[in-house]
Structure 1
Amino acid sequence: MENRRSSSPLRSRRAKLLAGAVVLGAAGLMTVQTIVPAQLAQATPVRIDNAAPADFSDVVGAVSPAVVSVQVKQAAEPRMMNFNGGNNFRDFFEDLPNGHPFERFFRDFGERGGEEGRPQRPAPRQYGMSQGSGFFISADGFVVTNQHVIDKGTEFTVIDHEGEEYDAVLIGADKRTDLALLKIDGGKDFTYVDFADEAPEVGEWTVAIGNPFGLGGSVTAGIVSARGRDIGAGPYDDFIQIDAPVNRGNSGGPAFNMNGEVIGVNAAIFSPSGGNVGIAFAIPASTAQDVIMELKDDGTVVRGWLGVQIQNVTDDIAESLGLDEAHGAIVSEAQEGSPAAKAGLRSGDTILEVEGAKVDGPRDLSKIIAAYDPDTSVEITVWRDGKEQDIDVTLGRLQDQQQAAAEPEAVEQQKTSLDDMGLVLTSKTDAGLDGNGVLIADIDPDSPASEKRLSRGDVILEVAGMPVNSPEDVIKAVKKAEEDGRKAVLFRVESNDNTRFVALPMNLA
């Protein structure tokens, strides 16, 4: 008689499930081994083990004694009512009819104290106060701040970390980079900080210390949000954007990295309301260090000058010129008597390199040229007539210059319509104006020309490199560009005494 263990239905089901699991496990193992590449199977997500700082107290404690408040006494501009350019009320009211209700009032008011035999007492000179921030860069009392903080100042006071006040002397200021250097004599060594040798990485921590709203020694923290920002403040814009809260009065104060080095000088904020919204801009340490050293040595910053009006090379302009890529700065005009004009640079040249250094755009060219001393000879590579050409230029000295703009005159003369471009043109002669070029008499607001910001009253000087003096010249030049296989045609346009290039796509023209 055989003794056999009888299997229950439950035990039998468990055994089948176990066997199935083993089969599926083996199949899964084979699937991974045969289908998925080993390197993908071993891939792991990005992981950074660096710990964030517990707090910023060590950095703040070390650098705070180097940060100061700057108070500036400014002569207030006299404000008086001035009618039609006159110097007093009589200039405006002398023609009032006899018996006018205001005649006696204004006569008495204007002549009070000024009658014959009664000399007028001069009004007391009035002053205003402004304030900002700064920081020591040397033990002997050199202080960095913003140019706009000390602008129009007559007296300067530096208040240190302990509340001690010192009279300061302005060593020099540079409006183009918004930097200034002050000097105090305190009879002791001051705690000072250094500029960082390396630019910060986006995402790095930064600490801003300054004097917002007169609250000296205020500390805020954030990160570097971006680099290389152009905010339209000047030709050398290269700001660091930070989100550390910065407010009025922080101007001129430092932004530090976690090593206690200055990565930037706080200079501007973006704010619809005037308060902090987390977008602040600092002048990079590399720029500040160079400018401050020049101010310290000479009291001023000397820059090379080329003397050209330039603009960015867009894809359309690059195509119209036959360039493989959109880079460089196209010369819209070489100023008369400038180093560029003397060397033979002319309108339509595209500057690609300076002494072998690639020029990415107008801002790049401005910074490269400014770095050279006046009277330096540099080799400039330009794109002209479909090929590269080297031109030697002896740079001049950059001076502050002002440009006057004139209002375009409305014209209504004989006109030629270029419907495809959205332009109605007339010659300057027909419009009763002197000079060369073709006047834009009207423009279709929905046309490609309008999209490129061409306006009524603008003057077209050249089309595809050919001077034009009549609408027929424009049509002829456009047709030639089309025959040459250009996908865009380049217009040189004068507007408000400035010239620029505009490329209109041929498929739209």
Structure 2
Amino acid sequence: MQRTFRRAALAALLIAVGIATPALAREPEVPSGREQIQLSFAPLVKRASPAVVNIYTKTRIRTQRPSFLDDPVFRRFFGDDYMRALPRERVQNALGSGVVLRAHGLIVTNAHVVRNADEIQVVFSDKRELPAKVVLQDDRYDLAVLRVDVGDEPLPYLELRDSDTAEVGDLVLAIGNPFGLQQTVTSGIISAVARSGSGVTESGFFLQTDAAINPGNSGGALLTLDGKLVGINTAIYSSSGGSVGIGFATPSNIVARIIEVAEKGTRLTRPWFGIGVQRVTPDLAQSLGMARPQGVIIRAVAADSPAARAGLKVGDVLLTINGQPVDDEAALRFRLSTQPVDATIRVRTIRKGQEETYVVKIAAPPEVPPRDRTQLTGRQPLTGVTVMNMSPAVADELAIEAGQGGVIVAEVPQGAFAAQFLKVGDYIVGINGREIDSVSTLRTMVSSQPDRWSVSVRRDGEVRTFNFRG
């Protein structure tokens, strides 16, 4: 009885000084007015939606006539007028979305929305329709910049938010033109940042969201609640073609670089660092004495590269660039892509268990050696194939790693004999037992007329040899 009395007295004392025990906490209040329960994204949508546009494209595709139409009996039966009336091309229509980022008429969308289009029409929220031209298209990041002529009347546009400030759990809105419907808004959260390995674009680096994204949303806006653009909706993960709550948006920091380059009228060039890396696995982390897997280990450093000049070495573990984590190859490509050429970056590494910081001035990828682009001719297995010397500049254009030199296949014509065993991106490493280190050496080798040919090709790290009669 005495213990019960003491508990009651303690509770009374806590209440008297304004401290309530959990059991005595005040009950939640019922909202007393509409303003306490009303929540709406409508003001944000009204401000942002005029800057999101619908994009319609037309592509003329030439059709191949069946061979039987050229049969003389068929032509005599149906007549030449009928033959001339047969359509020789068809028009393919497509739709997508875009975002106005400059008042004078620059619009960003996905490259796949406008790829190979003969006509591009932009429809604004006020029902205006204007023709557009492609200013810049970069297939590596699946982004394109369009320009419309708006005269002296400025367009409503969106400001960009630093995508590195986005966090998992942030509320976002997706605005676009799904399935050809009028402008549609969906809401969700950012499900993951720095999502890589999706294989959607060359960068493979995205913001993931569960806001509903469907066909036609491509190129539309992903907005944070401050009304700024944090990403361009690019792709979805789906087995049915519809939204299953896994959508990917290209981060706004890449979009910012695309717009900057488009305004200058140049091509997007990813700065050259001059290293080859691989992800640090648990086994690798243990062998390096690291407490946990993090960063990427440098497995190659190009001679006279920015990395080499700064003092980075093979075996260093690269942790961050400008304070942002780099945990795989996609993250490294992304971090470099957001920097202009000749920028200075701070790189944090681990070397022999000690953390080090390096200041690196990145540069444009050099074309060393010169590409010497050549189409091979003559009576030999590689006739018609176009080849180039590999260099960092060529690697940047082809969106491949520049860690290895040699001769790379740039083009293989349809119908060429070589198309049976070669494809773009292959390295020709040997002809009849001789190493091929340059286009000049390859030209010399194919000019001979041996009885048999042995062509060695490196593809995906494996060397394959193909043998032919002369």
**Do the structures match in fold with TM over 0.5?**
yes
Partner of 1:205: 171
Structure 2 distance, partners of 1:57, 1:283, is 25
| 1:353-364 correspondence runs (5 A) | 359-364=326-331
| 1:346-357 correspondence runs (5 A) | 350-351=317-318
Partner of 2:190: 224
Deviation at 1:342, TM superposition (A): 10
1:192 aligns with 2:157: yes
User: Contact 1:382/1:391 (CA < 8 Å) preserved in 2?
Assistant: no
Q: What fraction of aligned residue pairs are identical, expressed as a percent?
A: 31
Structure 2 distance, partners of 1:378, 1:209, is 34
Deviation at 1:134, TM superposition (A): 0.6
- CA separation of 1:77/1:204 partners in 2, compared to 1, >3 Å: closer, same or farther? farther
Partner of 1:367: 334
User: Contact 2:51/2:155 (CA < 8 Å) preserved in 1?
Assistant: yes
Q: What TM-score comes out, normalization by structure 1 length?
A: 0.57
- CA separation of 1:214/1:362 partners in 2, compared to 1, >3 Å: closer, same or farther? same
Partner of 1:64: 49
Deviation at 1:195, TM superposition (A): 1.7
Deviation at 1:133, TM superposition (A): 0.1
The 3-state SS of whatever aligns with 1:76 is strand
User: Contact 1:380/1:393 (CA < 8 Å) preserved in 2?
Assistant: no
Out of 242, 260, 268, which is 2:235 matched to?
A: 268
| 1:111-190 correspondence runs (5 A) | 124-187=88-151, 188-190=153-155
User: RMSD in angstroms over aligned alpha carbons?
Assistant: 4.7
Structure 2 distance, partners of 1:258, 1:51, is 19
List gaps (5 residues or longer) in structure 2.
13-17, 366-392, 401-407, 410-432, 436-457, 464-470
1:242 aligns with 2:242: no
Deviation at 1:77, TM superposition (A): 6.4
Structure 2 distance, partners of 1:264, 1:402, is 22
Structure 1 distance, partners of 2:106, 2:127, is 17
Deviation at 1:341, TM superposition (A): 8.8
Deviation at 1:57, TM superposition (A): 2.0
1:56 maps to a residue whose letter is F
Structure 2 distance, partners of 1:206, 1:158, is 25
Structure 2 distance, partners of 1:195, 1:356, is 21
Deviation at 1:346, TM superposition (A): 8.0
**What's the CA shift string for 1:182-222, capped at 9, x where partnerless?**
11013322222212356344333322221111113122222
- CA separation of 1:337/1:165 partners in 2, compared to 1, >3 Å: closer, same or farther? same
Structure 1 distance, partners of 2:70, 2:166, is 66
1:70 maps to a residue whose letter is I
Deviation at 1:70, TM superposition (A): 0.8
1:61 maps to a residue whose letter is K
Out of 18, 21, 25, which is 2:4 matched to?
A: 25
Equivalent residues, number: 363
- CA separation of 1:53/1:220 partners in 2, compared to 1, >3 Å: closer, same or farther? farther
User: Contact 1:171/1:299 (CA < 8 Å) preserved in 2?
Assistant: no
Deviation at 1:296, TM superposition (A): 2.2
- CA separation of 1:358/1:278 partners in 2, compared to 1, >3 Å: closer, same or farther? closer
Structure 2 distance, partners of 1:274, 1:59, is 29
- CA separation of 1:392/1:181 partners in 2, compared to 1, >3 Å: closer, same or farther? closer
Partner of 1:287: 254
Larger Rg: 1 or 2? 1
User: Contact 1:137/1:193 (CA < 8 Å) preserved in 2?
Assistant: yes
Structure 1 distance, partners of 2:328, 2:109, is 29
User: Contact 1:75/1:127 (CA < 8 Å) preserved in 2?
Assistant: yes
Deviation at 1:141, TM superposition (A): 1.4
**What's the CA shift string for 1:6-63, capped at 9, x where partnerless?**
xxxxxxxxxxxxxx5xx34224358989xxxx99967989x9x997762222222222
Deviation at 1:316, TM superposition (A): 0.8
**What's the CA shift string for 1:389-421, capped at 9, x where partnerless?**
98988744252337789xxxxxxxxxxxxxxxx
**What's the CA shift string for 1:293-323, capped at 9, x where partnerless?**
2222234212212454432011211333455
Q: What TM-score comes out, normalization by structure 2 length?
A: 0.62
1:65 maps to a residue whose letter is P
1:73 aligns with 2:52: no
